[in-house]
Amino acid sequence: MDRLQKVMAHAGIASRRKSESMIEAGRVKVNGKVITELGFQVKKSDSIEVDSVPIQKEKLVYFLLNKPRGVVSTASDPKNRETVVDLLHEVEERIYPVGRLDYDTTGVLLLTNDGELANKLMHPKYSVEKTYLAKVKGRVTREDIRQLEKGVVFDKVKSVPAKARIINYDRKKDYSTVELIIHEGKNHQVKKMMKAINHPIEKLTRTQYGFLSVEGMQSGVFRELKQFEINKLYQLVEDE
């Protein structure tokens, strides 16, 4: 479900503000009925008319990007840094990332204009599994892993238990590589979890989002999702 003015703006009718004025002026119908309530919720299957002309809704598109370092995960950046949407500049639809990866984090990022699916995927209720590979300072011990698996405290809140395993330890350089599988998606979640156990992160990559991975895709490369992958994403957020 989305707000009527948002759907109108996405369909390129007018800005959200102008769309609101059009709604208040009684120019907009949903399923044949004039709607003047701002924030009226519409489903994808609803038919919307403006001045009795049906609006063309944008085709829904889904992309998987292997995000490089040094790119922000927003549609626009106040500091004018390159964004993940800039990397997909040939895509005409108004896409945005599903959740965020930090500026210096690499790996799997989903982008779409399907707001309904994106919101569900980001909602804690569905808690999509995310896998990260972290290069951290120092030697991670079994006790550290147990801590991560029990949940660690950061920002005064205990994290939901994670799955964690040590991949390797480089004795010469004194860093460890750890795989972490988490369901939460708080800001800087993995960095804060690792800092809480005194192993600050030097490098972080997301290797999987649910069942999706960017294996075999070079950094900065993106591809369209296949229909079966879109169906599977929908299955991840199905209500029982």
- Interface residue with ligand URA, options 46, 102, 149, 184 (CB under 6 A): 102
Distance of CA 169 to the CA centre of its chain: 31
Q: Is 189 in the site for ligand URA (CB under 6 A)?
A: yes
Q: Which of 198, 223, 215, 203 is nearest to 106 (CA)?
A: 203
The Cα 121–Cα 142 span in angstroms is: 32
Task: Mark the segment that binds ligand URA (CB under 6 A) among 8-16, 41-49, 146-154, 188-196.
Answer: 188-196
Structure tokens at 157: 């809140």
CA Rg value for the chain? 21
In the complex, the smallest distance separating the C-beta of residue 82 from ligand URA, rounded to whole angstroms, is 16
Amino acid at 233: L
Q: Is 101 in the site for ligand URA (CB under 6 A)?
A: yes
Q: Is 164 in the site for ligand URA (CB under 6 A)?
A: no
Using CB under 6 A, count the residues that bind ligand URA.
8
What phi and psi, each to the nearest 5 degrees, are found at residue 181?
-115, 120
Catalytic residue among 2, 46, 77, 102: 102
Q: Which residues of 177-199 are buried (b: 16+ CB within 10 A; e: fewer)?
A: bbbbebeebeeebbbbbbbbbeb
In the complex, the smallest distance separating the C-beta of residue 204 from ligand URA, rounded to whole angstroms, is 6
Based on the residue annotation, tell me whether 102 is a catalytic residue of this protein: yes
In the complex, the smallest distance separating the C-beta of residue 22 from ligand URA, rounded to whole angstroms, is 39
Residue positions annotated with a catalytic role: 102
Residues within the interface to ligand URA (CB under 6 A): 101-102, 105, 188-191, 204
